[in-house]
Amino acid sequence: MMLLAILTGVVIYMASGMVYYSILGNRWVELLKIKPEQPNYGLLTLVTFLTSTVLYSLLRLFEVETLLDGAFIGGAVGIIVALAYAKDFIFGLGANSLKASAVFVIAVGYHVIALTIIGAVMMLFL
């Protein structure tokens, strides 16, 4: 059951990224002035698998029992990711402009939304 929960988390994380960035990706690319390239899917899948494993472990550690609690833990992890991004943003990764702020919001929004959903869905496997 554990592996199925983690793999489901991986699929949800990647699928939600595809949906999220199909909506906001063009704006994100335009703001960053980058040329989208083919990502390293192997490394991307590994990092996504590790993220899903950590979230699953936290749900087990905190003995979460409801979908709402799972969503809360997932959202909390998403907020931690957002805070890590914010620290980099404050130290100059962003150009302290409206454009940089939009890039920040788009990037962290994905993780907060996806991890909240994954936390709730994983509860179906616990």
Number of domains within the chain: 1
Q: What is the pLDDT of residues 63-87, one digit of tens each?
A: 999 999 999 999 999 999 999 988 8
In SS3 terms, 46-115 reads as HHHHHHHHHHHHHHHHCCCCCHHHHHHHHHHHHHHHHHHHHHHHHHHHCCCCHHHHHHHHHHHHHHHHHH
Q: What is the pTM of this model?
A: 0.89
Band (pLDDT 50/70/90 cuts) for residue 50 is: very high
Do residues 115 and 16 touch, judged by C-beta distance below 8 A? Answer: no
Q: What is the pLDDT of residue 91?
A: 75
Domain of residue 88 covers 2-125
Q: What is the pLDDT of residue 96?
A: 59
- Averaged pLDDT for residues 38-57: 93
Q: What is the pLDDT of residue 33?
A: 76
Do residues 68 and 120 touch, judged by C-beta distance below 8 A? Answer: yes
